[in-house]
A = this chain, B = another copy of it.
Amino acid sequence: MTRKEADTGGRSRIQTEKRGLILDAALEVFSQYGLKGATLDMIAAAAGLSKPNVLYYFAGKEAIYTALLEGLLEVWLDPMRQIDPTGDPVGEILAYVRRKLDLSRDYPRESRLFANEVIQGAPLMLETLEGELRALVDDLAAVIRGWSEAGRIAPVDPRHLIFSVWALTQHYADFDVQVRAVLGSEDPYAGAARHLDEMFRRMLEPR
């Protein structure tokens, strides 16, 4: 065993390239079939590599999956981190919604991978959810509560508001086939952007 372990540092250029190739292929496959439904054969084929070669870069199927998840959460939480506590409350939240919706549109596979994992009980992410995620939400909730108490947005349960943002934006990625089945050929995201903007504005603007 020469390398294999997920030591982030000390990788040659080709290492990094191939790992990226594999992760992208794995994302495609895992997000569609789930951890168990995906096979190394599929991933290797999608990456254009041989199966043993894939295993040269990752310790196993689960290791690929885990690496994928790890890289994911940061991207996923980033829009939340960009909220400016000193900005305009409604504007900040609307911008957050917008960023999350763009993420759904531009990275639907990532969204589905995440959804799959959480729906199945998040066996590999529970700690992160209870630690990092919860802390971040608590922080943001405090900010929102502040806005709310200052009368700058309508009174609202901050954490359920955050769930609402997540639910409403991720729905378009996760339930994509259903959305498209209902809408037909109409572009979901244009309508969604208008709708969500309008909805959250009404929800939040103090009367």
A residues whose Cβ falls under 8 Å from a Cβ of B: 1-2, 32-37, 41, 51, 112, 115-116, 118-122, 126, 129-130, 133-134, 137, 154, 156-157, 159-164, 166-168, 170-172, 174-175, 177-179, 181-184, 191-192, 194-196, 198-199, 202-203
Contacts and interface: CB of A to CB of B under 8 A. Distances in A.
A119 B116 contact: yes
Q: How many copies does the complex hold?
A: 4
The residue in A163, A168, A203 that gathers the most chain B C-beta atoms within 10 A of its C-beta is: A163
Nearest to A195: B160
A144 B195 CA distance: 14
A177 B157 CA distance: 19
Contact of A129 (B36, B112, B161, B182): B182
A160 B29 CA distance: 29
Contacts of A159: 182-183, 191
B133 A182 contact: yes
A4 to B, nearest CB: 12
Given A163-B171, A163-B172, 7 more contacts: A32-B120, A122-B178, A129-B177, A133-B178, A159-B182, A163-B179, A164-B195
A57 B155 CA distance: 54
Given A37-B120, A116-B119, A129 B160 contact: no
Contact of A119 (B134, B175, B198): B175
A164 B160 contact: no
Given A51-B2, A181-B129, A203-B203, A160 B191 contact: yes
| Residue of A116, A133, A160, A199 most packed against chain B (CB within 10 A) | A160
Nearest to A141: B182
A159 B2 CA distance: 46
Nearest to A111: B119
Given A129-B182, A182-B129, A203-B202, A177 B33 contact: no
